[in-house]
Amino acid sequence: MRRIAVIIIFLFLLYLEVFLSVANASTVVFEVCGFPASKTVQVRITDITTLSSPSEVLAFTSTGVVERLQNTDSCYRYSYASATNLHRYECTFKDNSTPVNEVTDTQLARDYPTNFADLAITSSTGKVAVITNDDKTGYTVSTVSDKTGYALSTAGVSAVSDETIEGTLTMRKMLRIMFSVLAGESSGGGTATITFRDIADTKNRLVTIVDTHGNRTSVTLNGD
């Protein structure tokens, strides 16, 4: 079991290495604050991924060192653009003061997918916009009280209309039968057989047999 666990952990770490290494090079930004202003500041970069054998990757240089003001302090920043993903680097800053001011900063190089910025939630809205979800089905909407203008699709209307309500009768068939009684032509009034026709007068929608008191004793329905 221990060997299996080790293998799983190894595969997981390998997956992270592949997923995060979308490129071979990263940019690592180092910064130090508190140095005197307007100094010539040099940096040296050392790869300390393997602590037992650190490797200098950039000798002391002032090229690329940028000074900026943070509150009342002067800060010096250097961007190292040739870092290897997931390697740890140490940057040594030193100025030309007497005595020399010297500070180190340590950073881990980390690459992100090229579309990483698209995953950000903006500070202004705090919301994630869903652009397209046409490949998903089965969603249930609980509360959308701030939205208006929704409409069922033709398929959605048919699903409701063709839902079986009683026996073999659907909502659609029941509406046809009820509408024929309310607005369709009829015949047989005052007799034992009363017939109600569809609006186009092409078929019987409802045929009822009644007794002498007008009570229905038999009903034939056609909602097709």
Residue 128: the pLDDT is: 57
Answering whether pTM is above 0.75, one says: no
The model's pLDDT over 91-133, given as tens digits with 9 standing for 90+, comes to: 999 999 888 889 988 888 877 666 666 666 666 655 656 666 6
Q: Which helix (H) or strand (E) holds 9?
A: helix 2-20
The helix/strand/coil state of 151 is coil
DSSP bridge pairs for 91: 45, 105
The model's pLDDT over 197-212, given as tens digits with 9 standing for 90+, comes to: 998 999 999 999 999 8
Domain with CATH 2.60.40 in the chain: 20-130
The CATH class that applies to domain 20-130 reads mainly beta
The model's pLDDT over 11-63, given as tens digits with 9 standing for 90+, comes to: 444 444 434 333 345 789 999 988 888 899 999 999 999 989 999 999 999 99
